[in-house]
């Protein structure tokens, strides 16, 4: 019966409102006082039932809730025949709860949208080679799936054949479609806008990137910050204190109406709801913009960060070495590049891949008598010539003459942070290439945004040589740069910063970053990083989009400020209402309840502003 009545609470609110309206129309339009009184009595009795049930449920678990205060106040008003007050108070309380729930549902719209985006079916290749539609739960790792134009990608996978453009807004927050072809990665919940592709399932169910996003956002929205825990403790003692205050006032004044009014006005509804609304809206905004904030506590800590420490490779840089500088010391440049590409095509070393990618489509010769020199490079026979590809040490071993110009070029390349690849043909130096990891586009501007948001120290820690790290630091305007850092060295450095009183955020993407991610007050993982890095972090930037970092910091600062605003509004309204009871003649239960419910709506609407938050600079 209790569940049935609470399920019909909105209907009871509507009926109560209609009865009150009928009563006042009867009085002022027709002068019928009897209809007014009976309408108010029925509205009061009907309206107080769901409130009393909620009060009873709270008292069963030894909690003196707002419902307890309102139930006592309404019963008291009813007993002293103040039916107008009792009817209006119950209606406003129920109507306020309805509006509160409705607006709260809007703040949770981000997670609702995410769950609605979850794919439900997939076209799976069966044993006979035909594709049949199955439930997404029936897809296993290794299955081949067909995705058609307009369909959702059902799992995380790799494209086997076909091409198309996919809207990855559900993962990255970016609405511009991304081109996909053979060997491209695709994610569950994204939408194929055009084309047809076949994919092999790499991750299914909750293990997909989309599944993890939903899980993390749900956990984050259910978690409580220190501010919320404080308010819970405060309300636990505050609500009984209001009850005691009203009893004391009645004992001294013998004014039961005054005591009942204090019960109504002292309800801390806006205080209880204000902070959770800010948190939910902030986390929801982050989810929409490719930023996962793992809980309310993260918002508080992240908003106070003054030092951000970065891993270099894969974070500040793309993590994909490319040829950045090149010098050719031969007239037949194309022939030299053909020899170089032929030799490097035999190797899977990252530098070799960078060289082959840079040269592109070219004539490849048969490579014979290949000799891999450990720590040096490769020597081989190509088209009847002895070709050596490697570092300076290999050139010296091959007795290749390095003149002053080449020495100057080598020095310049090294100062620019390059790894060197030299090429000699028949003992003569023919080419010099400088290869380095490329800085992510737009990172410098994003770091400037972090500074404007109050970050004082920007530090890079890397296992690379100090020269390379210094180059990156100079180019990006970082505060400090430290090279030759092992994972344990990074953790030690973060501890030293924390001992100095700095609040540290660490940004990384690899397994070796996990200790630092866990140790820093805020660990921030790039979304394309390892599972371990993502699991141990507090914030995840989906799709490794570095530009999400300033938005994340600005959002947490806005959310923390919003919480404070809501607390001030809630406490201020209660103090003003209570003061009005003692120092004014116009304050009564109905006006107090109206202001009280209005304050709840104000803090909810204030919190909902965070759903539209965008970084202004």
Residue 558: per-residue pLDDT: 93
Write out pLDDT tens, residues 433-486. 888 877 888 888 999 999 999 999 999 887 766 777 888 888 888 998 888 776
Q: What is the 8-class DSSP label of residue 151? A: P
Quote the CA–CA distance of 511 and 535 in Å, as a whole number.
11
Residue 220: per-residue pLDDT: 46
pTM to 2 decimal places: 0.64
What are the structural domains, with CATH classification, of the chain? 2-108+220-277+560-612 (no CATH), 120-154+156-203 (2.70.150.10), 291-315+442-544 (3.40.50.1000), 322-436 (3.40.1110.10)
Write out pLDDT tens, residues 336-366. 888 888 888 877 777 788 888 888 887 888 8
What does the H/E/C string look like for 371-420?
EEECCCEEEEEECCEEEEEECHHHHHHCCCCCCHHHHHHHHHHHHCCCEE
Cβ contact 530:540 at 8 Å: no
HSE-up (13 A, CA, CB side) for residue 155: 29
Q: What is the 8-class DSSP label of residue 479? A: S
Quote the CA–CA distance of 310 and 579 in Å, as a whole number.
52
Going by their DSSP bridges, the two strands 539-541 and 291-293 should be labelled as antiparallel
What does the H/E/C string look like for 306-334?
CEEEEEHHHHHECCCCEEEEEEECCCCHH
Q: Cα separations (Å) of 186 from 159, 177, 531?
A: 7, 12, 17
Residue 307's DSSP bridge partners are 457, 504
Instruction: Select which of 311, 409, 437, 470 is catalytic.
Output: 311
Going by their DSSP bridges, the two strands 457-461 and 480-482 should be labelled as parallel
Contact residues for 373 (Cβ-Cβ < 8 A; gap 6+): 379, 390, 394, 397
Residue 88: per-residue pLDDT: 76
Residue 307: per-residue pLDDT: 92
Does 311 participate in catalysis according to the annotation?
yes
Residue 173: per-residue pLDDT: 45
Which segments in the chain show pLDDT lower than 50?
107, 110, 173, 175, 220-221, 529-530, 532
């Amino acid at each position: 019966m209790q569940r049935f009545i609470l399920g019909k609470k909105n209907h009871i609110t509507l009926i109560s409102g209609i009865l009150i309206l009928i009563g006042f129309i009867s009085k002022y339009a027709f002068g019928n006082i009897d209809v007014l009184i009976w309408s108010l009595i029925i509205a009061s009795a009907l309206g107080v039932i769901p409130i009393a049930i909620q009060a009873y449920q709270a008292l069963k678990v030894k909690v003196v809730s707002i419902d307890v205060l309102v139930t006592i106040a309404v019963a008291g008003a009813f007993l002293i025949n103040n039916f107008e007050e009792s009817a209006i108070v119950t209606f406003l309380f129920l109507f306020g709860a309805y509006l509160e729930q409705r607006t709260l549902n809007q703040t949770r719209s981000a997670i609702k949208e995410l769950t609605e985006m979850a794919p439900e079916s997939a076209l799976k290749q069966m044993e006979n080679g035909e594709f049949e539609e199955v439930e997404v739960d029936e897809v296993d790792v290794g299955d081949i799936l067909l995705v058609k134009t307009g369909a959702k990608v059902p799992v995380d996978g790799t494209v086997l054949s076909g091409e198309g453009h996919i809207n990855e807004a559900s993962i990255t927050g970016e609405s511009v479609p991304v081109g996909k072809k053979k060997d491209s990665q695709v994610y569950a919940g994204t939408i194929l806008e055009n084309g047809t592709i076949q994919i092999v399932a790499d991750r299914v169910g909750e293990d997909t990137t989309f599944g993890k996003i939903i899980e993390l956002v749900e956990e984050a929205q259910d978690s409580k910050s220190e501010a919320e825990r404080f308010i819970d403790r405060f309300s636990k003692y505050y609500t009984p204190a209001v009850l005691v205050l009203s009893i004391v006032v009645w004992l001294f004044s013998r004014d039961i109406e005054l005591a009942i009014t204090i019960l109504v006005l002292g309800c801390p509804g806006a205080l209880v709801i204000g902070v959770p609304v800010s948190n939910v809206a902030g986390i929801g905004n982050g989810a929409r913009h490719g930023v996962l904030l793992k809980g309310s506590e993260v918002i508080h800590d992240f908003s106070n960060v003054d030092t951000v420490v970065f891993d270099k490779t894969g974070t500040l840089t793309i993590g994909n070495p490319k040829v950045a500088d090149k010098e050719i010391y031969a007239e037949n440049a194309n022939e030299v590049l053909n020899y170089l590409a032929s030799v490097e095509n035999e190797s899977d070393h990252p530098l070799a891949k960078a060289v082959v990618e840079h040269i592109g489509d070219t004539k490849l010769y048969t490579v014979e008598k290949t000799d891999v020199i450990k720590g040096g490079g490769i020597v081989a026979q190509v088209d009847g010539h002895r070709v050596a590809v490697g570092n300076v040490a290999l050139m010296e071993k091959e007795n290749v003459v390095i003149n002053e110009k080449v020495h100057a070029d080598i020095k310049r390349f090294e100062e620019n942070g390059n790894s060197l690849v030299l090429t000699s043909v028949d003992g003569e130096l023919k080419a010099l290439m400088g290869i380095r990891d490329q800085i992510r586009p737009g990172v410098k501007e994003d770091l400037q945004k972090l500074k404007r948001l109050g970050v004082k120290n920007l530090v890079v820690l890397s296992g690379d040589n100090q020269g390379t790290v210094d180059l990156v630091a100079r180019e990006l305007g970082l505060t400090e740069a430290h090279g030759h850092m092992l994972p344990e060295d990074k953790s030690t450095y973060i501890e030293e910063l924390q001992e100095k009183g700095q609040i540290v955020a660490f940004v990384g993407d690899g397994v070796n970053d996990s200790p630092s991610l866990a140790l820093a007050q805020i660990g921030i993982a790039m979304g394309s990083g390892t599972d371990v890095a993502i699991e141990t972090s507090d914030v995840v930037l989906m799709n490794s989009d570095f530009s999400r970092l300033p938005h994340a910091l600005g959002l947490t600062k806005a959310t923390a400020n919003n919480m404070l605003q809501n607390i001030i509004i809630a406490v201020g309204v209660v103090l003003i209402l209570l003061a009005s009871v003692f120092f004014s003649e116009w304050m009564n239960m109905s006006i107090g309840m109206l202001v009280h419910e209005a304050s709840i709506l104000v803090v909810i609407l204030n919190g909902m502003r965070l759903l539209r938050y965008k970084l202004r600079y």
